[in-house]
Amino acid sequence: MAEELRAAVGATQLLTDASVVASFESDWTGRFRGRARCVVRPADTAEVAAVMAAAARAKVPVCVQGGNTGLVGGSVPVGGAILLSTARLTALEPVEVVSGQVTVGAGVTLAALQRHVRAEGYDFGVDFAARDSATLGGLVATNAGGERVLRYGTTRAQVLGIEAVLADGSIISRLGGLPKDNTGYDTMSLLTGSEGTLGILTRLRLRLVPLLTERAVALVAVDDVAAALSLVRTVRNRLPSLEAAELFFADGLALVRARTGLSAPFAEAYPAYLVLECAGRADPTDELLEALAGSEAVRDATVAADPRGRHLLWSYREAHTESINSAGVPVKLDVAVPLTALAETVAALPATITAACPTARPILFGHLNEGNLHVNVLNATSEAEAVTDAVLRLIAAHGGSISAEHGVGRAKRAWLGLSRSPQEIAMMRAVKRGLDPEGLLNPGVLLDSA
Ligand code: FAD
Ligand code: MLT
Ligand code: ZN
C-alpha cells in the first residue's frame, strides 16, 4: 500500500511521521478526533485518481480534507483511513471574462479565489469568516451558505462544473460551464453537498457575480427577532441591493467584546443586533439611512461606508465563532426554521437546552433571512448528545432542518431521520452503494457505515 501511494504522489507527499499526521486528525473546534494511517497530498486529478485506485484495490478508506474548517466532524479521519489533503490542488485558471466563469482547483481557498476574480472585475457569490482557510472543494462538498445567500443563493447556485474522482479511481470531468444543460441526472448537484461521500472533488467551474464596490454596512440594535424580521423586510423592499442580514444577541456580543477588545457599539445595551450590508454601483449609504430612519424597529444604528468602518461593524458578527470557541469547546448546531417560526424557536431554545443540561450556556446567532440559527452550547460537552437531541427535535417540530449549511458530518448523522424520510434515506443509501459499494469514501460521514 505505502509503495503504491508513494508511486502515486511522490515520496515527499506521503506523510507518515506521527506528529505530522496528528495535525490532520482533529477538527477546528477541537471536539472531533480520529486516526489516519498516513496523509497524502496529491498535486492534480491524475494523482488523486491513482491514490483512490490504490485504496480501492486494498479496500482502505479515504477521508478527504480541505481547509479543515468544517464544523460537523466530517473532515476528521476514522478507522486508520488514508487522509487525502487537497492542499496542493491550488490551480487558479484565468477568469473567462466573456462568460463570468472560472475553473479552480479544489484546494484553492475562498480568499485566494476572491483576490483572483476581483482583479478581473468579478466577485464570488459566497462569503464567510473562514475565507482564509476554507477551500472551494470544502465549500462545494458542504454546499456552504454564509453571509450572502440572501442575494446569491448557496454554493450550489454557483457551481457550473465539476471534476471528481470516484471511489474506484475513475474520473468524471464536466467542466463545460453551460448554464443550460438538461441531459439527465444533475451530476454537479448530486456531488454538491455530498460531504466527500460520493467522490473527491478536484476541479470546479464557478459562476461569478459582478464586483460591487459601493457598499454600506449598518449595525442596528433591535428589541427582538420579530423587530429584526420586520426591519429586514422594510430594507429589502426599499433596497434590492441588500446582500446580508446577520443576527446576534447581547450574550454573543459580550463574548465577542471580551475576546476582541472591541468597544460597545452603542451607549446603551440592547437585546438583539443586526448587521446589514448593501452593495451596488452607486453608494447605497443614503438610501440605507433613509430605510433605517423609516423603521420603527430600529432602536439605534450606526452605518459605515469606508472599508475600515465596514470591517469593524462586521467584526461584531464575524468574531462570534472564534470568541465562542475561546470560551470552551461548544456543542455546535446549525439549524433552520421557517421564518414564521423563528421568533418562537429563539424564545424556546434556552429552556429546551438547559432542561437537557442545566449547566449549559447557549449562544445563538445566525443568518436571519434564511431562518438559519447557529445554536452554540458551552459547558455542555458531557451532555452533548442530550443537548443535540433536544434542540434538533424542537427544530423538527417547527418544520425546520437539522443542518442549514454546515452539513451532517459525524455530528448529526444519528438525527438525519428528523429531516429526511425513510424513503429519502433509502434513496441516499442506494446512491452511495451504487457509487461506492465498499464504503471507502468518508465512512461514517452523513450516513452510518452499515
Ligand atoms: P473541510 O473542513 O476540510 O471539509 C468539510 C467536508 O467537506 C468534509 O466532509 C470533507 O471530507 C469534505 N471535503 C473537503 N474537500 C473536499 C473535496 N475536495 N472533495 C470532496 N469532499 C471534500 N460554513 C457555512 O456554510 N457558512 C458559514 O458562514 C461558515 N462560517 C464559518 C466560520 C468559521 C470561523 C469557521 C471555522 C467555519 C465556518 N463554516 C461556515 C464552516 C466551514 O468553513 C465550511 O463548511 C467550509 O465549506 C469547509 O471548507 P473546508 O475546506 O475547510 O472543508
Ligand atoms: C457563521 O455563520 O459564522 C458560521 O456558520 C460559523 C459558526 O456557526 O460558528
Ligand atoms: Zn453560518
* Whole-angstrom distance, CA of residue 110 vs CA of residue 114: 6
Residue of 45, 63, 64, 90 to test ligand 1 pocket, by largest number of atoms within 8 Å of CB:
64
Beta carbon of 137 within 6 Å of any ligand 1 atom: yes
**Distance between Cα 71 and ligand 1 center (Å):** 7
Instruction: Write down the domain spans for the chain.
Output: 2-85, 101-210, 214-321, 329-410
Spatial contact of 126 and 139, defined as CB atoms under 8 Å apart: yes
CA 139 to chain centre: 6
Beta carbon of 69 within 6 Å of any ligand 1 atom: yes
Q: How far is CA 201 from CA 18, 354, 427, in A?
A: 27, 40, 22
Q: What is 2-85's CATH topology?
A: 3.30.43
Name which residue sits closest to atom 41 of ligand 1, judged by CA: 70
C-alpha cell, 67: 481547509
Beta carbon of 295 within 6 Å of any ligand 2 atom: no
Q: What is the full per-residue pLDDT of the chain (450 aa) written as tens digits?
A: 899 999 999 999 999 999 999 999 999 999 999 999 999 999 999 999 999 999 999 999 999 999 999 999 999 998 899 999 999 999 999 999 999 999 999 999 999 999 999 999 999 999 999 999 999 999 999 999 999 999 999 999 999 999 999 999 999 999 999 999 999 999 999 999 999 999 999 999 999 999 999 999 999 999 999 999 999 999 999 999 999 999 999 999 999 999 999 999 999 999 999 999 999 999 999 999 999 999 999 999 999 999 999 999 999 999 999 999 999 999 999 999 999 999 999 999 999 999 999 999 999 999 999 999 999 999 999 999 999 999 999 999 999 999 999 999 999 999 999 999 999 999 999 999 999 999 999 999 999 986
pTM score, two decimals?
Answer: 0.98
Beta carbon of 126 within 6 Å of any ligand 1 atom: no
Q: What pLDDT is attached to residue 450?
A: 65
**Closest ligand relative to 134 C-alpha:** 1
Q: What is 329-410's CATH topology?
A: Alpha-Beta Plaits (3.30.70)
Beta carbon of 335 within 6 Å of any ligand 1 atom: no
Q: What is 214-321's CATH topology?
A: Alpha-Beta Plaits (3.30.70)
Name which residue sits closest to atom 44 of ligand 1, judged by CA: 70
Please determine whether the domains at 101-210 and 214-321 fall in the same fold group of CATH.
no
Torsion angle defined by CA atoms of residues 381, 382, 388 and 389, in that order, rounded to the nearest 10 degrees: 180
Nearest to 67 by CA among 115, 14, 111: 111
Nearest to 55 by CA among 43, 68, 37: 37
**Distance between Cα 270 and ligand 2 center (Å):** 22
Q: What is 101-210's CATH topology?
A: 3.30.465
**Distance between Cα 374 and ligand 2 center (Å):** 6
C-alpha cell, 208: 461569478
Angle CA 114–181–192, to nearest 5:
50
* Element containing residue 431 per DSSP (H, E): helix 422-435
Beta carbon of 68 within 6 Å of any ligand 2 atom: no
Name which residue sits closest to atom 5 of ligand 2, judged by CA: 146
Beta carbon of 374 within 6 Å of any ligand 2 atom: yes
Beta carbon of 334 within 6 Å of any ligand 2 atom: yes
Q: What pLDDT is attached to residue 79?
A: 82
* Strand 36-40 to 81-85 pairing: parallel
Nearest to 364 by CA among 320, 319, 309, 312: 320
Q: What pLDDT is attached to residue 449?
A: 82
* ipTM reported for the complex, 2 dp: 0.99
**Closest ligand relative to 194 C-alpha:** 1
Determine the atom of ligand 1 nearest the C-alpha atom of 109.
51
Beta carbon of 406 within 6 Å of any ligand 1 atom: yes
C-alpha cell, 271: 437585546
**Distance between Cα 379 and ligand 2 center (Å):** 19
Got the DSSP string for 2-19?
A: HHHHHHHH-GGGEE--HH
Angle CA 399–189–191, to nearest 5:
105
